[in-house]
């Protein structure tokens, strides 16, 4: 089972790249972030005619998440629990039957949190606290669980080319990184780091200042696995080549191979 996450940075602008990558990779389940589309305007028909099942939780102009899959999910839930007044579309999860196994896959787009010292950073930390509580609940169900997406957190100095450039950014604050570690301490496994400790392992390169050709990247797209999912882990790929395509997203797909 191939499970992938990709911040597409506008599904309409990247539709050709998305379709090309799906044809090339053939994953079983894909979580997309920053679709920047309401549900009704998501390019569902182009995907469905290629055999993809589509579930969205969209928002006009920004945010928005989606799950694409070869098989229809058994159950779908939208919105991260814990704050019914929160109207930002940042979370969707579904249960899939893959062979004789059921797997829960959640796709998230965690708040950026910038600028520091504003309600945006407080919202980020509050959102992460809600995510921790939700993950604790899901872990108690003992179903293979994949919690993936754009976390907007740089976990360690090894996950950024130039740490000094990020010391005043919400993605690299001690509070953000501590909240990420609390998720791991629940018993979740960071799939990328479980598979490799290679240096310069990045998933995002900014559009500015020649970040891509200079390999001035960061790792903020993460796939966290419950113990029941971690024992199935066979490998992880970061599809860097997609960043060099025409009209690319500033993120690239992270693909995790889970096998019984």
Among the options 150, 159, 190, 221, which is catalytic? 150
Per-residue tokens: 32: 């997309």
Distance of alpha carbon 18 from alpha carbon 183, whole angstroms: 30
Distance of alpha carbon 90 from alpha carbon 21, whole angstroms: 23
Concerning whether 241 is annotated as a catalytic residue, the answer is no
Query: Is 9 within any annotated ligand binding site?
Result: no
53 and 73 Cβ atoms separated by less than 8 Å: yes
Query: Is 251 within any annotated ligand binding site?
Result: yes
Architecture of the 2-258 domain: 4-Layer Sandwich (3.60)
pLDDT (average), residues 49-63: 96
What pLDDT sits at residue 87?
Answer: 95
DSSP states of 102-150 as a string? Answer: EEEEEEEE----PSTTSHHHHHHHHHHHHHHHHHHHHHTTTS-EEEEEE
Domain spans, the chain: 2-258
Task: Give 260's pLDDT tier (boundaries 50, 70, 90).
Answer: confident
The answer on pLDDT for 216 being more than 90 is yes
Q: Is 218 exposed, middle or buried (0-12, 13-18, 19+ CB in 10 A)?
A: buried
Among the options 57, 134, 222, 251, which is catalytic? 251
Per-residue tokens: 90: 């940042």
Q: Which of 128, 152, 167, 147 is nearest to 219 (CA)?
A: 152
Distance of alpha carbon 81 from alpha carbon 130, whole angstroms: 7
pTM of model > 0.85: yes
Q: Which of 111, 116, 119, 118 is nearest to 89 (CA)?
A: 111
The mean pLDDT value of the chain amounts to 97
Distance from the Cα of residue 161 to its chain's centroid: 20
Query: Is 241 within any annotated ligand binding site?
Result: no
Those residues whose C-beta lies under 8 Å from the C-beta of residue 237, and which sit 6 or more positions away, are 254, 255, 257
Among the options 96, 109, 180, 202, which is catalytic? 109
What pLDDT sits at residue 100?
Answer: 82
Concerning whether 126 is annotated as a catalytic residue, the answer is no
Query: Is 150 within any annotated ligand binding site?
Result: yes
Concerning whether 16 is annotated as a catalytic residue, the answer is no
């Amino acid at each position: 089972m191939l499970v992938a996450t990709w911040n597409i940075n506008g599904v309409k602008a990247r539709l050709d790249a998305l379709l090309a990558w799906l044809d090339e990779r053939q994953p079983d389940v894909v979580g997309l972030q920053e679709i920047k589309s309401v549900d009704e305007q998501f390019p569902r028909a182009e995907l469905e005619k290629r055999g993809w099942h589509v579930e969205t939780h969209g928002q006009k102009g920004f945010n928005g998440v989606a799950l694409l899959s070869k098989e229809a999910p058994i159950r779908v839930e939208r919105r991260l629990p814990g704050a019914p007044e929160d109207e930002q579309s940042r979370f969707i999860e579904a249960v899939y039957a893959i062979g004789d196994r059921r797997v829960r896959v959640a796709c998230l787009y965690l708040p950026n949190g910038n600028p520091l010292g504003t309600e945006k950073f407080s919202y980020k930390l509050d959102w992460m606290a809600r995510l921790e509580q939700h993950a604790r609940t899901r872990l108690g169900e003992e179903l293979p669980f994949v919690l993936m997406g754009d976390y907007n957190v740089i976990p360690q100095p090894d996950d950024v080319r130039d740490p000094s450039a990020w010391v005043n950014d919400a993605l690299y604050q001690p509070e953000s990184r501590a909240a990420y570690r609390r998720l791991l301490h629940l018993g979740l496994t960071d799939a990328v780091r479980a598979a490799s400790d290679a240096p310069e392992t990045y998933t995002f390169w900014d559009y500015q200042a020649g970040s891509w050709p200079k390999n001035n990247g960061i790792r903020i797209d993460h796939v966290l696995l419950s113990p029941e999912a971690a024992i199935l882990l066979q490998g992880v790929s970061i599809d860097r080549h997609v960043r060099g395509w025409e009209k690319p997203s500033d993120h690239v797909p992270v693909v995790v191979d889970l096998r019984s």
